[in-house]
Structure 1
Amino acid sequence: MSELIRKAFVMQLNQGCKAEYQKRHNEIWPELVKELKAHGGHNYSIFFHQATHQLFGYVEIEDEALWQQVAETPACQEWWAFMQDIMATNADNSPQSLELESVFYLA
């Protein structure tokens, strides 16, 4: 495997929904985990910023094109629909997400 691509992004959680967001992720569907891994996702983490209710996501991926294909899977689309009531989403239920630019990395 070549060097993994590091991706970071920010999403917005609705106020008062942290416990529910965490509960749903603690019970993440096995079929979604399978798809994330099958599409090259590794070391996926999401952090919560208390003051702004922002979610900071970090994932390492094998290939950008392969990773983008996960959005087309039924498991991902169903997860988005399941999550849309507690976070800012687009018309297709995908989370509103802003990709962050890497400005420093220490290996």
Structure 2
Amino acid sequence: MNRYCFLLQVRPELLAEYTQRHARVWPEMLRALRDAGWTNYSLFARDDGLLVGYVEAESLERAQAAMARTDVNARWQAEMARFFTGLDDRRPDEGFLLLTPVFQLEQQLAALDD
């Protein structure tokens, strides 16, 4: 399973509403994410709207493509688009700024045992 971490920018003045909307994500959307291969998916927000996302998937590209084929994702992304800045006419799920992994504890511990 691969790990992915990404950044997005939520409009600070809409952060409370964005957070509230994520307290009760549509059940259909939750199931679609699971069925598309998204696991351990979490979002973290800073007060200024910086959003850090973390997800595990066999392939983020394939997981995103599977979501792009669902109607519920199109509806969700359309509703979420107004919360973000810096997307240049992309949907929020297409605007991830992926971060480069630099350390993973379990990997290094496993290497010690080799």
Question: Quick one: which amino acid aligns to residue 17 of structure 2?
Answer: E
Report the count of equivalent residues.
103
Q: State which drifts further: 58-67 or 6-15.
A: 58-67
**Higher CA-based Rg:** 2
SS of 1:85 mapped into structure 2: helix
More helix by share: 2
Give the TM-score, by structure 1 length: 0.85
Provide the aligned C-alpha RMSD in A: 1.6
Name the CA distance, whole Å, in 2 between partners of 1:60 and 1:36: 11
Maintained 8 Å contact 2:84/2:92: no
Give the TM-score, by structure 2 length: 0.81
Listed as ranges, the gaps of 5+ residues in structure 2 are 107-114
Question: Quick one: which amino acid aligns to residue 28 of structure 1?
Answer: V
Decide whether aligned partners of structure 1 residues 68 and 93 sit closer, same or farther in structure 2, where only a CA change above 3 A counts: closer
- Are positions 1:46 and 2:43 aligned together? yes
Decide whether aligned partners of structure 1 residues 36 and 90 sit closer, same or farther in structure 2, where only a CA change above 3 A counts: farther
Shift of 1:85: 1.4
- Are positions 1:15 and 2:12 aligned together? yes
Write out per-residue CA displacement over residues 8-64 of structure 1, whole angstroms, 9 at most, x where no aligned residue.
0000000211210111111101111111101111111111122x4210000011234
